[in-house]
Amino acid sequence: MKVAVFSTKSYDRMFLEAANAGYGHELIFFEPHLNRETSILAAGFPAVCAFVNDQLDATVLTALARQGTRLIALRCAGFNNVDLAAARDLGLKVVRVPAYSPHAVAEHTVALILSLNRKIHRAYARVREGNFALDGLLGFDLYRKTVGIIGTGKIGTVVANIMKGFGCHLLGYDPYPNSECKEVGVRYVSLAQLFVESDIITLHCPLTPETHHLIDTKALNQMKSGVVLINTSRGAVIDTQAVINASKSGKVGCLGLDVYEEEAGLFFKDLSNLVIQDDVFARLLTFPNVIITGHQAFFTREALENIAETTLANITDCEQGRACPNEVTIIR
């Protein structure tokens, strides 16, 4: 099938081309994000392959459908950037990669927890400057601390398993508790109880209308003073301004973000020669106890191989009229 691949980086191309040897699709790579201005590039392509920050709202989907596109193949798990109702009404099939490596994201989550707690980012810079003082680098033992996991699906479950290894107590909040987490020792509690009892809170729920700004001022006020807050799910699960205020007051002791609610204009690009115009993001960068990575939690070799393989298999299923197990539908 002829596929317009948007938001392509060199690594996307490398892994997709390698996997495509077994599929034979015609992949045309476009560097720009998919949005209202660039949707014209997909004219005549029956399939469009998109990523996390591509814009798949009703306007873009209407343009794509008018130009002959019938399939949206997301090469990511989250689909919060797709207007599914519009896709359905336009007859556009949407497929995704539901699990490519929960380990990649879970391990990055733990990397953020460990780096923030033991101030590795600061120690690295200090030692290179010949500063071997330890003031300001004090951490705490993870052993016997309480980790609250919001969203105990595939990634949350791996996080639970890893943190269990550190000897942590595990709390979980999820509308659909899972038995594997219970076996690992996750105790399911209300959101309020998780906020109150956790030393570390890590977010692994999808971005939905229910989880939008789940972490707001009210939620932050319930948390322990000095809580470690980690978000590798989707940026808008956190109200960024609220978390900035909570970091200024000391309520949030450490903040680790791999995602940011306005990341679309920033992440996956080299902006190092430019002045960052987003003042909220710029403020976040000033905190010594904040680590931000640019949506790289998924970025392992194994994950990219799986993403490429599943994306192309999804496209083949649709091309050959087979039911695709990774189709995204809305229940109405």
Task: Out of 173, 195, 260, 281, point to the residue binding ligand NAD (CB under 6 A).
Answer: 173
Instruction: Give yes or no for residue 246 binding ligand NAD (CB under 6 A).
Output: no
Identify whether 309 is a catalytic site residue.
Answer: no
Identify whether 295 is a catalytic site residue.
Answer: yes
CA–CA distances in Å: residue 211 to residues 108, 234, 265 = 22, 10, 22
Task: Out of 142, 150, 160, 194, point to the residue binding ligand NAD (CB under 6 A).
Answer: 150
Tokens of 117: 């707690």
Which x/- pattern, by CB under 6 A, does the window 266-305 give for ligand NAD?
Answer: -----------------------------x-xx-------
Stretch that binds ligand NAD, among 36-44, 63-71, 206-214, 308-316 (CB under 6 A): 206-214
Identify which of 176, 182, 260 has the alpha carbon closest to the alpha carbon of residue 215.
260
Tokens of 270: 């080299």
Stretch that binds ligand NAD, among 146-154, 219-227, 246-254, 269-277 (CB under 6 A): 146-154
Tokens of 81: 């950037």
Number of residues that bind ligand NAD (CB under 6 A): 31
Q: Which residue is nearest to ligand NAD (CB)?
A: 153
Identify whether 108 is a catalytic site residue.
Answer: no
Residues 45-84 that bind ligand NAD (CB under 6 A): 77-78
CB atoms within 10 A of CB 165: 10
How far is 149 from 141, CA to CA, in rounded Å?
A: 18
DSSP 254-290: EEEES--TTGGGTTTS--TTS----HHHHHHTT-TTE
Identify which of 237, 146, 229 has the alpha carbon closest to the alpha carbon of residue 193.
146
Active site residues: 234, 263, 295
Using CB under 6 A, list all residues that contact ligand NAD. 77-78, 99, 102, 105, 150-156, 173-176, 204-208, 210-211, 232-234, 258-259, 295, 297-298
